[in-house]
Chain A
Amino acid sequence: MNAELAALDGPRPDRRDPEIRHFWDGLTERELRAQVCADCQGVQWPPRAACVKCQSLQLTWHVIAGSGTLSTWTEVHRTGLAGYQDLVPYAVGIVEIDETPVRMVGYIHTPDIDTLVAGERLVVRFAERGEGVVLPVWHRESEGA
């Protein structure tokens, strides 16, 4: 599964980033996590140094659903990103996560990009990249994900 991404020699996240590292830490445990404000309980994405609703600096991380719907996407035919150059054409888009107001960028795995439709159901899978990096990969329910 996800052999193409497992073999990817692409850009790696900075695991020292004080906000974003929690997202990547969660992925190594096969969890999708988002930032939650300890004061107003607002869920926010992307993760920031302060809550955008109440400006609290007390921020925590919660596990969110590993499923969602496709909002928009692009079919990439040209990229400057190492590794991804071997994968074109591929789809990357915005996924609206179930049960929480989080919309995040996601790589969408499908052999059939032409048939993607807005609002279709997606499920996250995890692709081991080696050296402690696990990528979230969105699969289509319609393809038996």
Chain B
Amino acid sequence: MSSCWTAAVTGVGQTEFSSGSGRSQSRLAIEAALLAIADAGLNPGDIDGIIPYQIGPPAEDLIAMLGLGDVRFTAVSHLGGASPVAGLRTASLAIAAGQAEAVLMYVARNGRSGDRVESRVTQQVPGQQFRHGLEHPLGLSLPVQTYSLMCRRHMLDFGTTREQLGKVAVTMREHALLNPHAQMYGRELTFEQYVTSKPIALPYLMFDCSLETDGASAIVITSAERARDLPQPPVLIRGVAEGHADSADDLSARNPIYGTGLAKAAPRAFREAGIGPADVDVALIYDCFTFQVIQQLEAAGFAPLGQGGAFVEAGEIALSGGSLPVNPHGGLLSEGHLAGMNHIVEAVLQLRHAGGDRQVPGAEVAAVTGWGDLGDGSLAVLTN
């Protein structure tokens, strides 16, 4: 099964997450990269493969700054926010094929103080001719608007409620209060504050939206065999898959509009890992907006279709008392939006049992989802 190409995450590193880094994206990238390489117990010169994010500093910048004489593998996984998780597979395959021995992946952005994430996303999503020719002239342009179209339809079809959306936001914030690294650490969020926050694109309110963040996250991947000789407990990449929604480059033709590539990717990833959704101890869900957590809980198989809202409302995603703690770090909603690279970092910390106050006791299996480019989905199953 997957053992023939099992790789491991051996190092993680992150800068602080803030609303104003005061530094360039390249500087953020190199800081996180150096932390991840040191965490892995490696030297910069050991890196021979690089997978940058599709937006931000390219591989060449890191090759130069790390002083790498002969990087022999680079690739970009171009699935928007589903890219970091899909990149775990790209890295694993490169290592299994002997094309690289130590692969560095990173996301670095000044999402708050520089170009806002949402405006860059608008320019990066597929089907640009549809966006510019059939949507922008009619008043539709931002991710918060298109994602709210999905949310509304799900509410109509299944009775998903405002209270359930709010429960996602409040739960993510409760988790962030246990994470000193979170952008929203120390800032409580009540349901009352949530429900009275500014309307952005109804049904989405301000607190339905993830954070615009300055910062960087990086990880280092090696073969599982090599990882055993490195200082950190290895986190094994057991299964990874990507999937694309029907009408992959346009939402108008997608029916139901909340269909996602994750529903196709998740069974593949779980099958490859030989592990099922019921075995997962902690889930890192790509929470670009509140409803997208509910949507992905269903698509990944953690809750039946239409039952994601009730699952959340029953407290199942909470660290405290939930059957499936989701995003102990606070997620994109309350830790920061590093395109989900921070979700992979959190999964690694949880599986090392280094989660501090937010540790899921005894976590052995983590699932990480990615979501991007209108409907691309990815899922990784990681174990310790």
Contact = CB atoms under 8 A, between A and B. Distances in A.
Contacts of A106: 138
Given A46-B250, A89-B199, A94-B252, A105 B142 contact: no
A80 interface: yes
A81 B131 CA distance: 12
Given A80-B119, A94-B257, A103-B253, A74 B148 contact: yes
Interface string A55-93: 000000000000000011111111111001001011011
B199 to A, nearest CB: 4
B255 interface: yes
Nearest to B205: A77
A84 B252 CA distance: 21
A20 B122 CA distance: 19
A42 B117 CA distance: 38
B261 to A, nearest CB: 17
Contact of A103 (B141, B200, B252): B252
A94 B149 contact: yes
Nearest to A104: B252
Contacts of B255: 103
A143 to B, nearest CB: 19
A118 B133 contact: no
A72 B149 contact: yes
B259 to A, nearest CB: 13
Given A71-B153, A72-B152, A72-B153, A77 B253 contact: no
Contacts of A107: 138-139
Contacts of A77: 198-202
B156 interface: yes
Contacts of A99: none
B139 A87 contact: yes
Contacts of A45: 252-253
Contact of A90 (B139, B150, B152, B153): B139
B119 A13 contact: no
B135 interface: yes
B137 A92 contact: no
- Interchain residue pairs A-B with the least CB separation, the first 8: A20-B133, A75-B202, A72-B153, A11-B136, A74-B148, A77-B199, A72-B152, A74-B201
Interface of B: 119, 122, 127, 129-130, 132-142, 144-145, 148-150, 152-153, 156, 198-204, 250-253, 255, 257
Given A71-B257, A72-B150, A78-B201, 12 more contacts: A10-B137, A13-B133, A13-B134, A13-B137, A20-B133, A72-B152, A72-B153, A74-B152, A77-B201, A81-B139, A89-B202, A135-B137
27 contacts: A11-B137, A13-B134, A13-B137, A14-B132, A14-B133, A20-B130, A45-B253, A71-B153, A72-B156, A73-B149, A74-B145, A74-B149, A74-B201, A74-B202, A75-B199, A77-B201, A84-B139, A89-B199, A89-B202, A92-B140, A92-B145, A93-B149, A104-B252, A105-B138, A105-B140, A107-B138, A135-B137
